[in-house]
Amino acid sequence: MIKKLDNNLRGPSEHNVRDQIVEAAAEYFSRYGYEKTTVSDLAKSIGFSKAYIYKFFATKQAIGEVICSNTLSAILKAIDEAMVGSPTASERLRRMFKAVVEASSQLFFEDRKLYDIAASAAGEQWQSCTLYQEQIKKIILEIVHAGRESGEFERKTPIDETVNAIYLVIQPYGNPLLLQHNLHLAEHAPMILSNLILRSLSP
């Protein structure tokens, strides 16, 4: 049951109210879907007026941005945790690729309607999605730098070209719009493709 929020409570900080709205919206979107939900639907379900919600969020997308950002941050956290203790840059790349695919696939299977928010973000290039893409590229850049410093990876190819190429290989399994068409390959793709990448990076 979606929790009704009390907009007559005295003294809640704006931050707390925003968090309450986002939490209730995530539950509502998860149940009914992002695309099918209006701000009026959401306001009615949680006991706020539409005008009160607009005090904190200018649009439905603004609410979706926060939910999407939280979801993508969880994927980034899973990637960081997977790479902890990696003895080499090569192993970090393997673990990173595997974590991206596993975390994205888990979202697809466990909460399809919240996955749909991520798909909307990817399709419309929301800021949360753009920032996520930049973070993935930053992780790849750090791995490539480390591999070049250790002598694991070749140095002749311009580093931005190398990073973008690796990112494009990962895209079909990290982009929600593309992942849904590649789920049947998700189990084996990380190992096969990361090995291919690593062979191309050999000095």
> Which pTM was predicted?
0.81
The domain spans of the chain are: 14-58, 62-201
Give the C-alpha separation, 33 to 13, whole Å.
28
Per-residue pLDDT of the chain (203 residues; tens, 9 = 90+): 444 444 443 334 667 888 888 888 888 887 888 888 889 988 888 888 889 999 999 999 899 899 888 888 888 999 999 999 999 999 999 999 999 988 888 776 666 777 778 777 888 888 888 898 999 999 999 999 999 999 999 999 999 999 999 999 998 888 777 877 787 887 888 899 999 999 999 99
**Please, what is the angle between helix 89-110 and helix 189-201, to 10°?**
150
What does DSSP assign to residue 184? G
* Domain spanning 14-58, CATH class: mainly alpha
Q: Kindly state the tokens that stand for 123.
A: 């399709």
Q: 11 in the Ramachandran plot: left (φ > 0), alpha (ψ -120 to 50) or beta?
A: left
**Do 62-201 and 14-58 fall under one CATH topology?**
no
Q: What is the CATH number of domain 62-201?
A: 1.10.357.10
